[in-house]
Amino acid sequence: MKKTTKQIDFLGRYGYVILSVIFFVLLALYNQTQDSITFNNGEGFDGVKYVDVVEQMRAGEPVAGPAPFVYRLATPYLTSLLPYSILNSYFIINSFFALISGLLLFYWLKKTLGKPLVAFGFVIYLFLHWQASLRFTVFYPADCDPLAIIFVMLGLILLQKLNEHFTWKKVMLLSALIFIGVFQREFILSIAFGIPFLGNCFKIENGQITINKALFIRNLKAFLPVFIVSLLGIWITHLLVITLENGYGFIHAIYRWMHQKSVFMLLAGFFYTLGILLIFPFLFPKSAVSVFKKHVYLVPILAIALALAWISGGDTERFILWYCPIYFLVIGQVLVDNKSFFLRKRVWIPTLISLVLTLRVFWQIPQYYLDYEGVSYPFFAVFGEDNFSDILATHATKWVTTANLILYLLLSLYFVYWRFVDKIRNMIRWQ
């Protein structure tokens, strides 16, 4: 017991250094083994717009481009300050953001879970994930997600501190953070919706909701100015640029994806992002619910996160990773509370094997091809002569996504069986 405690203390103290070393080792490894995207001369899809913004900033021209990409000014501005080619500058700055987001995730999970080892494991998971900032930046450098994830993590850290001890100074700091954050991505505004639920404002006991009126009014007084300042930031981003007509409409995009993205695609996207870990909170719902009883402010943010995963667009996995700290916290609490179950060989071995496949740990991120006639083989991820579109749940060939979803559901049933094995055996009698 003492030896384990010492190991945990060591990890809590030196975890940041160890994670930084692992990050640079993996970054060097991926640079040698992962080819950059070749589509649109290495600029990718949305990256074409972000490269255009940097070119205009460096030339001292007014920034003009299609919505909503042209409003995302923070990363392109920082990129424009570096004296390298645009793609190399994006790679350098987004790699830096990937490191910082990993260290912030370690800090937040270590504080909320109180288990440095579990927090450490989730950061490694993030470093190995093909869609997360570290690996994806090597493949697709012209991206604006890595810094946005930092704003999410900083916002969650501040909300946690406010939840423990409310001060108006922290509210002002959170307001400034979100105001700057919306210059990066508009969805940073979602962090503000946790403010009305701070403290013990809401309690649920015996099916009855109790609201502390004084706390609720205080929280609303804190929320309104933060929300208004955040909207002001979004308005300023629209004033600073020239929006070119491209047929984009926010309401139209929501309507389109509500109808186009099925529940099956959405569920497959969650499995593609979180792997079989997704099923664990449903096996131990009390542990999962305990997180939201302690951190009620996460409930509205999670609701927004789930909605954005559905209606924001086709890249479901990317939208889920925006809010990965919340998902990791819930899963982590389940792991901590039910350690004896997850340490069984029949549980951790298939979990580990499936995660290696989900994350594509030993496989490159494939190129995107317009004209493609290769064969993809689904097995918890997509392998073979795969196309980039096939490793995304929404964009893949339907039979590929369906086959993988079935595999995840079958593995889920395997864990359901071992979770409730005694009850199942008592229900079934052989004669």
Confidence class for position 390, pLDDT limits 50, 70, 90 = confident
Whether the pLDDT of residue 40 is over 80: the answer is yes
- Does the pTM surpass 0.85? The reply is yes
Lowest mean pLDDT across 51-60, 244-253, 254-263, 340-349: 244-253
β-pair type (64-66, 242-244): parallel
CA distance 138 to 56: 24
172-220: per-residue pLDDT in tens? Answer: 999 999 999 999 999 999 999 999 999 878 877 777 778 888 999 999 9
- Does any domain span residue 399? yes
Six-digit token pair at 258?
């509500």
- Does any domain span residue 63? no
**CA angle, 45 as apex, 39 and 46 as ends, to 5°?**
150
Whether the pLDDT of residue 286 is over 90: the answer is yes
- Does any domain span residue 410? yes
Confidence class for position 412, pLDDT limits 50, 70, 90 = very high
Whether the pLDDT of residue 266 is over 70: the answer is yes
- Does any domain span residue 140? no
- Does any domain span residue 30? no
- Does any domain span residue 55? no
Q: How far apart are the first and last CA of the chain?
A: 47
State the virtual CA torsion across 170, 154, 336, 361 in degrees, nearest 10.
Answer: 180
Strand, helix or coil for residue 66: strand
Whether the pLDDT of residue 1 is over 70: the answer is no
Neighbours of 389 (CB within 10 A): 19
Element (H, E) at 243: strand 242-244
What amino acid is encoded at 243 in this protein? T
The whole-number pLDDT of residue 211 equals: 85
To the nearest whole percent, how much of the chain has pLDDT over 90?
A: 77
44-91: per-residue pLDDT in tens? Answer: 999 999 999 999 999 999 999 998 899 999 999 999 999 999 999 999
- Does any domain span residue 174? no
CA distance 149 to 322: 6
**CA angle, 301 as apex, 180 and 68 as ends, to 5°?**
50
Q: Is 210 left (phi over 0), alpha (psi -120 to 50) or beta?
A: beta
Residue 204 or residue 34, greater confidence: 34
- Does any domain span residue 326? yes
Query: Which structural domain, as residue segments, surrounds residue 389?
Result: 249-299+306-420
State the virtual CA torsion across 302, 308, 311, 313 in degrees, nearest 10.
Answer: -150
Mean residue pLDDT of the chain comes to 92
Contacts of 72 (CB under 8 A, 6+ apart): 50, 144, 183, 184, 185, 237
Whether the pLDDT of residue 341 is over 60: the answer is yes
CA distance 176 to 178: 6
Whether the pLDDT of residue 3 is over 60: the answer is no
111-163: per-residue pLDDT in tens? Answer: 999 999 999 999 999 999 999 999 999 999 999 999 999 999 999 999 999 99
The whole-number pLDDT of residue 5 equals: 56
β-pair type (208-211, 202-205): antiparallel
The whole-number pLDDT of residue 201 equals: 84
CA distance 304 to 325: 14
Number of domains in the chain: 1
Six-digit token pair at 399?
């039979």
CA distance 214 to 224: 16
Cα 328 to Cα 71, 322, 387: the distances in Å are 30, 12, 29
DSSP state of 386: -
Confidence class for position 7, pLDDT limits 50, 70, 90 = low
